[in-house]
């Protein structure tokens, strides 16, 4: 497990074999304050003790004990304790393609990856089912049992609380211009690019780009670039790159700068991630 800083600062991270590699986190925090960030995958978590206050694109929420937190893939969110004693939770981070595969297995080929409209849900039966999944992943080596429980819980979650993302494409010209910037930052996260460069790419003024980009994607361009760099960093660390090389390759000023952003977004350090990947 990851090293403990104190009884209230713990982050045990691992990747299971199920669904082609499913990220799992068992954490307990008191002082941790997650900056606004996004994940490539969904966040599906159960609050075990305490309560968490967090932002998810569109508003602020409080998740008390025994509730389920749902954050969609790529959705900007933050998090900190809503109680004096902190909070503990267990979470999984399935990728959109992993959930989409489950819908195909259910003969719903046009459903695609789901969208979860509610950030916090109170569903005691499903919360206990997710707890059983986490406990089984921790204590059982029976692959058939592990996969059966994961599939069952995720299918029930999508069926009860998810919606199809299918909707007509009504992108405006302005949205398409902003998407060009987003795609550039996704494809070249390490690039040393200026605001003027991005504004020229979108064919709009720098001031208008900053305001419109944040309104559309939840973060200003410079903050979104950091999230793209962190995603790229996780891929490099998974491939066996060192922390120092990863920091340099991803465009961070130095290793401490990389370490700080990684910890604020994920709740654990790059070193802990390497140990448990």
Is the distance from CB of 67 to CB of 128 less than 8 angstroms? no
Q: What's the rounded Cα separation, in Å, for the pair 90 and 237?
A: 23
pLDDT in tens, 179-211: 999 999 999 999 999 999 999 999 999 989 999
Superfamily per CATH, domain 173-275 = Homeodomain-like (1.10.10.60)
Segment 161-175 shows an average pLDDT of 70
Segment 146-175 shows an average pLDDT of 81
Neighbours of 208 (CB within 10 A): 13
Q: Lowest-pLDDT range, 55-59, 94-98, 142-146, 163-167?
A: 163-167
For the chain, the structural domain boundaries read: 11-164, 173-275
Residue 236, Cα to own-chain centre: how many angstroms? Answer: 17
pLDDT in tens, 2-29: 444 445 788 898 889 898 899 999 999 9
Question: Distances in Å between the alpha carbon of 265 and those of 24, 133, 169, 221, 226?
Answer: 15, 25, 31, 17, 10
pLDDT band at 100 (very low <50, low <70, confident <90, very high): confident
Superfamily per CATH, domain 11-164 = Regulatory protein AraC (2.60.120.280)
Q: Is the pLDDT of residue 107 over 90?
A: no
């Amino acid at each position: 497990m990851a090293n403990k800083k104190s009884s209230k600062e713990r982050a045990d991270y691992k990747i299971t074999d199920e669904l082609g590699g499913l990220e799992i986190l068992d954490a307990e925090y008191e002082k941790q304050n997650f900056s606004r960030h996004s994940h490539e995958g969904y966040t599906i978590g159960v609050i075990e003790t305490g309560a968490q206050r967090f932002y998810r694109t569109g508003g602020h929420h409080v998740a008390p004990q025994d509730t389920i937190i749902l954050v969609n893939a790529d959705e900007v969110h933050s998090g900190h304790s809503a109680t004096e004693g902190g909070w503990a939770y267990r979470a999984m981070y399935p990728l959109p393609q992993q959930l989409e595969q489950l819908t195909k297995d259910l003969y719903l080929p046009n459903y695609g990856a789901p969208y979860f409209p509610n950030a916090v849900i109170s569903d005691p039966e499903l919360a206990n089912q997710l707890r059983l999944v986490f406990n089984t992943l921790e204590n059982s080596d029976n692959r058939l049992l592990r996969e059966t429980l994961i599939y069952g819980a995720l299918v029930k979650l999508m069926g009860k609380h998810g919606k199809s993302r299918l909707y007509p494409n009504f992108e405006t010209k302005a949205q398409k211009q902003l998407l060009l910037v987003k795609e550039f930052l996704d494809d070249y996260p390490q690039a040393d690019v200026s605001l003027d460069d991005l504004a020229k790419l979108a064919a709009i003024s720098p001031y208008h780009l900053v305001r419109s980009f944040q309104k559309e994607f939840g973060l200003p361009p410079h903050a979104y670039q950091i999230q793209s760099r962190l995603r790229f960093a996780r891929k490099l660390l998974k491939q066996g790159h060192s922390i120092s090389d990863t920091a340099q390759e991803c465009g961070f000023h130095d290793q401490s700068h990389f370490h700080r952003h990684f910890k604020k977004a994920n709740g654990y350090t790059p070193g802990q991630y390497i140990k448990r990947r």
